[in-house]
Structure 1
Amino acid sequence: MPLAETLTQLRVGNQKFLIDFYQRSRHLFARWAQRKHRLAAPQAHELLQDTLLDFYDQVADGRITKLPDDLRAFIYGMAQQRLAAQVPAHVPLPAAEAQRRQRLLAQFNQLGADCQQVLTYFYFHSYQFEKMGVKMGFPNATVARLQKSTYLRKLYELVRGGYEPGWAVGTGAADKG
Structure 2
Amino acid sequence: MSAPLAETLTQLRVGNQKFLIDFYQRSRHLFARWAQRQHRLPAARAHELLQDTLLDFYDQVADGRITIMPDDLRAYLYGMARQRLAAQVPAHQPLPAAEASRRQRLLAQFNQLGADAQQVLTYFYFQGYGFEKLGGKMGFANATVARLQKSAGLRKIYELLK
Structure 2-normalised TM-score?
Answer: 0.66
Alignment partner, residue 121 of structure 2: 119
User: What is the deviation of 1:139?
Assistant: 1.8
CA contact (8 A) 1:52 1:75 kept: yes
The number of residues matched between the two structures is: 156
Deviation >4 Å, runs of 4+:
106-109, 111-116, 124-128, 134-137, 149-152, 163-166
Query: Which of 47, 58, 73 is the matching residue for 2:49?
Result: 47
Alignment partner, residue 85 of structure 1: 87
Larger Rg: 1
Alignment partner, residue 63 of structure 1: 65
The equivalences for 1:1-177 within 5 A come to 2-12=1-11, 13=16, 15-16=18-19, 18-101=20-103, 105=106, 116-117=117-118, 118-124=120-126, 129-130=131-132, 132-133=134-135, 138-145=140-147, 147-148=149-150, 152=154, 154=155, 158=158
Find the residue that maps to 2:77 and give its secondary structure.
helix
Find the residue that maps to 2:141 and give its secondary structure.
coil
Any idea what the Cα deviations from partners look like across 1:31-86, whole Å, max 9, x if unmatched? 32223332101110221122123223323443212222332221111112222333
User: What is the deviation of 1:130?
Assistant: 4.5
Find the residue that maps to 2:68 and give its secondary structure.
coil
Find the residue that maps to 1:53 and give its secondary structure.
helix
- How many percent identity over aligned positions? 68
User: What is the deviation of 1:122?
Assistant: 2.6
Query: Any gaps of 5 or more consecutive residues in structure 1?
Result: 167-177
CA contact (8 A) 2:131 2:147 kept: yes
CA contact (8 A) 1:129 1:142 kept: yes
For CA contacts below 8 A with separation 6 or more, give which structure has more relative contact order.
2
What letter matches 1:84 in structure 2? Answer: A
Find the residue that maps to 1:69 and give its secondary structure.
coil
Report the Cα distance in structure 2 between the residues aligned to 1:164 and 1:39, rounded to whole angstroms.
46
What letter matches 2:18 in structure 1? Answer: Q
Structure 1-normalised TM-score?
Answer: 0.61
Report the Cα distance in structure 2 between the residues aligned to 1:87 and 1:28, rounded to whole angstroms.
22
Structure 1 pair 4/135, CA: closer, same or farther in 2 (3 Å)? closer
CA contact (8 A) 2:113 2:153 kept: no
Bigger fraction of residues in helix: 2
Report the Cα distance in structure 2 between the residues aligned to 1:14 and 1:106, rounded to whole angstroms.
10
Structure 1 pair 146/25, CA: closer, same or farther in 2 (3 Å)? same
